[in-house]
């Protein structure tokens, strides 16, 4: 573990807890956790920051996934299939990431996110309840290939907001309510995180001692977030979703033009 003050350790642990809560409710916890690690450990190589972030996040995401599966109507088989497609997509994206400039992708993602925010704001019924429509085989295949593979590819290429995109896409394609979509997204996230963490671990790019301490707080935040989402329902998730989307827009805009 790097030389770190007690104050900074406390700050990082609190950030991990808050990120776990955000991830469990609607995804996007990395918007908080990654900057906290980068600012708190400025002299640590980026690969070690990313590896440690994955080691922390996978614990909270797994805890939230278990909580959701026990209490929400999640189709685990479908979620795992989407997760495996996302894992393959993220590995492909990571392979090609070096040849693509994030400066080119940011404006595109900004436009997409603003469109998403407008859609959610002006369609208040979106995701507030399951549509009741039967999910056809074609829609399931679309979810596996486009949602899993496509968003997984984006995660490997660029990354920010992957969990949020998953929730929105699963709601639209599979006619899920936002709570069930968030639950399904957690299972998909666990699959992609396992692959990424394995790669970072093989490269020796994980600060395991620091990750273990932060993971306790991330797990607590994830469990609290999942239970709050289940208790308060889709309207609550919708509100958090809008806050996360606008935060992501602000971060990407600052990265691009700040």
Residue 160 pLDDT exceeds 70: no
Domain for residue 117, yes or no?
yes
Determine, yes or no, domain membership for 1. Answer: no
Integer Rg of the chain from CA: 17
Evaluate whether residue 21 is within a structural domain.
Answer: yes
| Distance separating alpha carbons of residues 8 and 39, to the nearest angstrom | 10
> 149-153, 154-158, 161-165, 217-221: which has the highest mean pLDDT?
217-221
Please give the distance of CA 79 from its chain centroid, rounded to a whole number: 15
Residue 132 confidence (pLDDT) above 60 = no
Each residue of 167-182: b (16+ CB within 10 Å) or e?
Answer: bbbbbbbbbbbbbbbb
> To 5 degrees, how large is the angle CA 154–CA 138–CA 90?
20
Q: What percent of the chain has pLDDT over 90?
A: 25
In this predicted structure, which of 130-144, 179-193, 196-210 has the lowest mean pLDDT?
130-144
Q: For 83-115, write each residue's pLDDT tens digit.
A: 999 999 888 887 776 566 656 667 777 777 787
Q: Is the pLDDT at 213 greater than 90, yes or no?
A: yes
Is 33 a domain residue?
A: yes
Q: Structural domain of residue 75, as residue ranges? A: 6-257
Q: Is residue 222 part of a domain?
A: yes
Decide: 231 and 102 in contact? Cβ < 8 Å. Answer: no
Tally of structural domains, the chain: 1
> Quick check: is 72 in a domain?
yes
Give the Cα separation of 180 and 110 in Å (integer). 26
**Is 146 part of a structural domain of the chain?**
yes
Six token digits for residue 58:
């996978």
């Amino acid at each position: 573990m790097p030389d770190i003050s007690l104050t900074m350790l406390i700050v990082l642990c609190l950030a991990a807890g808050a990120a776990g809560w955000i991830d469990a409710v609607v995804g996007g916890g990395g918007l908080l956790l990654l900057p906290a690690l980068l600012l708190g450990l400025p002299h640590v190589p980026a690969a070690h920051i990313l590896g440690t972030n994955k080691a922390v996040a996978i614990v909270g995401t797994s805890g939230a996934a278990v909580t959701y599966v026990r209490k929400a109507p999640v189709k685990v088989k479908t979620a795992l299939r989407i997760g495996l497609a996302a894992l393959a997509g993220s590995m492909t994206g990571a392979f090609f990431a070096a040849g693509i400039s994030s400066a080119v992708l940011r404006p595109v993602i900004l436009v997409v996110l603003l469109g998403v925010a407008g859609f959610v704001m002006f369609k208040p019924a979106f995701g507030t309840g399951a549509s009741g429509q039967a999910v056809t085989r074609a829609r399931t295949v679309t979810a596996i290939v486009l949602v899993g593979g496509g968003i997984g590819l984006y995660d490997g290429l660029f990354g920010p907001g992957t969990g949020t995109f998953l929730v929105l896409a699963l709601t639209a394609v599979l006619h899920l309510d936002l709570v069930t979509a968030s639950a399904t997204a957690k299972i998909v996230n666990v699959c992609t995180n396992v692959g990424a963490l394995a790669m970072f671990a093989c490269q020796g790019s994980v600060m395991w001692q620091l990750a273990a301490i932060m993971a306790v707080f991330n797990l607590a935040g994830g469990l609290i977030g999942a239970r709050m989402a289940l208790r308060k329902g889709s309207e609550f998730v919708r509100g958090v979703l809008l806050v996360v989307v606008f935060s992501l827009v602000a971060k990407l805009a600052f990265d691009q033009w700040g």
